[in-house]
Amino acid sequence: MKIDDRLNIVLNYRNLIWAYLALGRMTEAERGLDEGWAYLAQLGDQHGESLFLLQQSLFLQQVGQPAAAHEAAAKSLQVAEVMQSPGSMAEAQMQMGHALADQEEWDKAINLYQSALPVFKELAIEHLLAETYSGLARAYLSQKQSAEALAYANATLAILQNNPWVLFNTMIHFQLYVTCYQVLEANQDKRAPQILSDAHKRLQEIADQIEDAELKSSYVTNVAANRTIVRLSTERLNLT
């Protein structure tokens, strides 16, 4: 098999893993990671290695292993530094920030987000900007710095409102809405109910397009942010 063919297989695995993670299918995502790594080992491709380490980090984060998620993202950063790729380095820093935030290491998370932010601004990568703004909003909210949290939540919402499909290019999808809602609610911002309603509507629209009942249930219940939106919408807005 030619190297180009193997590289295409690795990229297909990457896309498949993203889909499984988005649907909450963790067993299939883990299997895809294992098989993808086997092909990647034949290539020795650093860019592919950096990307797969980020996916591994996200998987570990979603299954409740933030320390291991941080370790995988840190390895991705090391590979990106060897490649001297600012974008890959910044994305790894952002994912390290997510993993540290899950461990309530707020100051360290903020420092990593702030390191990544100028690169995403320079490269004009909207979905990574939105994800980093959201991470900062969450971290500042947890530190009870409401003004900073609100500023970054507003920055996240501005991107989502300008281009709603940015949501699905991020690694954390509906967590963007969860964070923004929580920040607005904490600030007694009148926009909070509408943001939650919008998130619930978008989530239901996507779920309604999933014909397979098992996949649909997995999407709504196995992804933490999706599950949170359903719960909050039921509790606060009486939506089902």
Asked if 109 and 5 sit in the same domain, the reply is yes
- Cα separation, 170 vs 42, in Å, equals 28
d(C-alpha 33, C-alpha 53), whole Å? 9
* Domain limit, last residue, from 76, 96, 117: 117
Predicted TM-score (pTM) of this structure? 0.94
pLDDT at 41: 82
Residue 148 has pLDDT above 80, yes or no: yes
Compare 14 and 31 and report the one with higher pLDDT. 31
Task: Identify the domain boundary among 66, 100, 117.
Answer: 117
Q: How confident is the model at residue 4 (pLDDT cuts 50, 70, 90)?
A: low
Residue 232 and residue 134 share a domain: yes
Give φ, ψ of 135 to 5 degrees.
Answer: -60, -40
Same domain, 75 and 165: no
Residue 217: Cβ within 10 Å count = 13
The residue type at 161: Q
pLDDT digits (tens, 9 = 90+) for 87-143: 999 999 999 999 999 999 999 999 999 999 999 999 999 999 999 999 999 999 999
Q: Domain check: are 16 and 113 in the same one?
A: yes
Judge if 102 and 47 occupy the same domain.
yes
Q: Enumerate residues 6+ apart whose C-beta is below 8 A from 16.
A: 32
Q: Give me the number of domains the chain comprises.
A: 2
Share above pLDDT 90 across residues of the chain, in percent, rounded to a whole number: 82
103 lies in the same domain as 205: no
- Report the 10 Å Cβ neighbour count for 104: 11
Q: Outline where 63-165 has alpha helix (H).
A: 66-83, 86-102, 106-123, 126-142, 146-162
Could you give the 3-state DSSP secondary structure of residue 210? coil
pLDDT of residue 5: 67
The domain boundary, picked from 117, 136, 158, lies at 117
Q: What is the pLDDT of residue 171?
A: 82
Residues 90 and 30 in one domain: yes
Domain limits at 216? 125-240
Looking at the structure, do residues 217 and 180 belong to the same domain, yes or no? yes
Domain shared by 76 and 137, yes or no: no
The average confidence (pLDDT) of the chain is 94
Same-domain pairing of 140 and 102: no
For residue 6, the domain's CATH number is: 1.25.40.10
Same domain, 104 and 207: no
Q: Please count the residues of the chain.
A: 240
Q: Cα torsion for 117, 69, 178, 15, to the nearest 10°? A: 80
- Answer yes or no: do 1 and 19 share one domain: yes
Q: In the numeric block, which tokens belong to residue 234?
A: 């039921």
